[in-house]
A = this chain, B = another copy of it.
Amino acid sequence: MNPVKVGICGLGTVGCGTVDVLRRNQAEISARAGCDIVISHIGARRDNPKVDTNGLQLSRDIFAVAEDPDIDILVELIGGTTVARELVLKAIAQGKHVVTANKALIAEHGNEIFAAASEKGVSVNFEAAVAGGIPIVKAIREGLAGNRIEWLAGIINGTGNFILTEMRDKGRAFDDVLKEAQQLGYAEADPRFDVEGIDAAHKLAILASLAFGIPLQFDKAYTEGISQISTDDVTYAEELGYRIKHLGLARRTEKGVELRVHPTLIPEKRLLANVNGVMNAVLVKGDAVGPTLYYGAGAGGEPTASAVVADIVDVARTLSAEPMHRVPHLAFQPDALNDTPVLPIGDVVSASYLRISALDKPGVFSKIATILSDADISIEALIQKEPQPGQNHVAVILLTSRCVESNIVDALVKIESLDSVDGKVVRIRVESLDG
């Protein structure tokens, strides 16, 4: 099978991330796609020192990429709606498939672009345009295709969520956090797109179309920003059992579709209320599936590139395989499965929670600690309970450091054989899930 050739327009954060991911994961991506995916042309007004363009065709005029007869897919990562629209329409006219991360372009010109693509028989993919690396477009368009979708609600602007999270966690004022977000590069120098909800409304318009089968209608979305939220409101909301989030909401009602972006109090026990910092999440309610939630990084070079590359793989799979075997059953091509061994449990590394029933007398804990220390296991936390009336045993609860399974199993045999320890030690593995 011939390699699929990609032209990338724009070498900003996402363009740079896309080049990096395609290169770094080349072998895995080919094993999934069923063909090689090659970057063959880059269009950018200037070089990005972070990207090694050695050996690649480079054009300062991005339209040269759309006209390159060699490329199969044009990846539009220049942003904006004017030149980007022209570029995408040009690529379509040249029979190229298009992948874009541009929410404004899709929300404002999607109806026109999709019509042109349908006529020309090419595809336009835009997973990266909504909620960055979260595959939410695919989830709604395909994964929930059996449902009548009733409503959806999303935290779909990371900058806004970062600001609200800092206001809540640290009692900081809006203006103060906004300045930091700008310094960190989260917010644009002109932050209105983020904090006034325009960026979120672009994404919401796209989500609502996918969910309800209505045309893109960004101009009809109601938009209200977060600049008026005070730390007092954050605190009072908390006292009432709520968190304030900047939500995009789309809901079917008997009279029509609600399409609105505004600060919203939501009950603190909802998962959505616990989505913090720059993370995004979208809650979708289908009539059959009930509520489902999709969470991940909504922005940033590599997370957005994750969605761009998934779209590229989608096109490559369609170009390279029989329709029914477009997606391999086990994600990778059957002849590309690897034989990495499954580790025996004795070789697994994890931390442990231990509950030990021990005699309530001096020196017992030191014996336990010595056994663990000899096995190179350290104690990260400890709770020692007072004995119950009439009992001479107490519960000693420990959190240990990470170690190889066989190590702690041996140590537990020694601890259980101590005269001062009663019965079996309860052990439950501990995982921080942050690695």
Contacts and interface: CB of A to CB of B under 8 A. Distances in A.
A60 interface: no
Interface in A197-215: 209-215
A291 B435 CA distance: 9
Contacts of A343: 253, 255-259
B428 A265 contact: yes
A355 B325 contact: no
A309 B145 CA distance: 7
Nearest to A296: B292
Interface stretch (A44-52, A180-188, A216-224): A216-224
B288 A325 contact: no
A306 B216 CA distance: 25
A389 interface: no
Interface in A324-346: 324-332, 334, 336-343, 345
A306 B144 contact: yes
Contact of A233 (B229, B236, B314, B355): B355
A247 interface: yes
Contacts of A272: 433
A308 to B, nearest CB: 8
Contact of A290 (B110, B133, B314, B395): B133
A418 interface: no
A121 B325 contact: yes
A318 B324 contact: yes
Contacts of A307: 143, 146, 289
A420 interface: no
A353 B272 CA distance: 19
A124 B334 CA distance: 14
Interface residues of A, number: 152
A168 interface: no
A145 B34 CA distance: 12
A142 B313 contact: yes
A275 interface: yes
B318 A146 contact: no
B383 A240 contact: yes
B146 A267 contact: no
Contact of A242 (B115, B121, B281, B430): B430
Contacts of A193: none
A174 interface: no
Interface stretch (A1-9, A297-305, A409-417): A297-305
A140 to B, nearest CB: 6
A85 interface: no
Given A265-B431, A340-B212, A138 B140 contact: no
Nearest to A290: B297
A122 interface: yes
Contact of A295 (B262, B266, B292, B322): B292
Interface in A233-289: 233, 236-237, 239-240, 242, 244, 247, 249, 252-253, 255-260, 262-267, 269-272, 274-275, 281, 283, 285-289
22 contacts: A118-B334, A121-B322, A121-B325, A133-B288, A145-B310, A145-B314, A146-B306, A146-B309, A215-B339, A216-B330, A233-B426, A236-B355, A240-B381, A253-B343, A255-B343, A265-B428, A285-B435, A290-B303, A293-B293, A293-B295, A295-B295, A318-B324
6 closest cross-chain pairs (CB), A and B: A135-B143, A146-B309, A292-B296, A133-B289, A289-B306, A213-B332
